[in-house]
Amino acid sequence: MTLLLACKKSGTASADALDKDTSYAMGMLLARQLSESGFENLEYDYDSFKQGFKDFNEAAETRLSWDQAIEKINVFITQFQAKENEKMWLEGEKNREAGEAYLAENGKRGGVFTTYSGLQYEVITEGSGEKPGPNDLVQVHYEGTLLDGTVFDSSYERGQPIEFGLNMVIPGWTEGVQLMTEGSTYRLFIPSDLAYGPGGAGPIPPNSTLIFKVELISILR
């Protein structure tokens, strides 16, 4: 909305009158900016929406003062955020329960080991190099998936391994990579409390159990 509100309103007819398609495009722009701000799938009273836009844009007398309008918007945002938080909590609880059920069954498979923290791992290839320490810098290739198989991040797809300090990543990585020797490839099954927890992160939903294929290329000291 910054672009639209930055345009100076005028009480007189403008020589810069917009044609139908451009006016329509400006409406699309406003709708997109609202959507990208998190206000999706709202059911507007379009007559009131149009009238409010028209009155303010033409410097006409508005039905609400600016302070009243801001108060209305703030009340709506508070209520909207409360509903979103509830939805996120419910989604998180569903994901947490699904993750716990998955790990309970996965831990019964041969070749899957469970640590004291609840982290599970499976050796795909065992290397012969050294093991990193908790503060070491490492170079790895990896692919991360959700329980439904959705790939949310992959250095393999980018064609470039990454380097990071083991004290700068999620606890499941810090612990799991220290179990590996250079040249190893493991599959890590990381409970949500060792991953991104109830907040999630980007494409990762709240309380998601994550599965990573990790190849420890080298320890960089």
Q: Is residue 15 part of a domain?
A: no
Whether 153 is catalytic is yes
Q: Which two tokens stand for residue 202?
A: 């980007």
Whether 190 is catalytic is no
pTM > 0.75? no
Instruction: Give 172: exposed, middle or buried? Use CB within 10 Å, 0-12, 13-18, 19+.
Output: buried
54: containing domain: 1-7+20-63
State residue 29's pLDDT score.
87
Question: How many structural domains comprise the chain?
Answer: 2
Whether 152 is catalytic is yes
Residue with tokens 């139908």, as numbered in its chain: 20
- Whole-number percent of the chain with pLDDT over 90: 54
Cα 31–36–37 angle (5° rounding)?
A: 100
Beta-strand pair 162-165/185-190:
unpaired
Mark whether 24 and 119 lie in a shared domain: no
Q: Is residue 103 part of a domain?
A: yes
List, for residues 1-46, the tens digit of each pLDDT value: 444 444 444 444 455 677 888 888 888 888 888 888 878 778 888 9
**CATH code at position 186:** 3.10.50.40
Mark whether 28 and 134 lie in a shared domain: no
| Ranges in the chain, pLDDT < 70 | 1-16
State residue 8's pLDDT score.
45
State residue 1's pLDDT score.
45
Which candidate in 39, 56, 164, 170 is catalytic? 170
Which candidate in 142, 186, 190, 217 is catalytic? 142
Mark whether 125 and 58 lie in a shared domain: no
Q: Do 92 and 102 form a contact (C-beta atoms < 8 A)?
A: no
State residue 176's pLDDT score.
97
- Enter the DSSP assignment of 180: P
Mark whether 198 and 109 lie in a shared domain: yes
Whether 196 is catalytic is yes
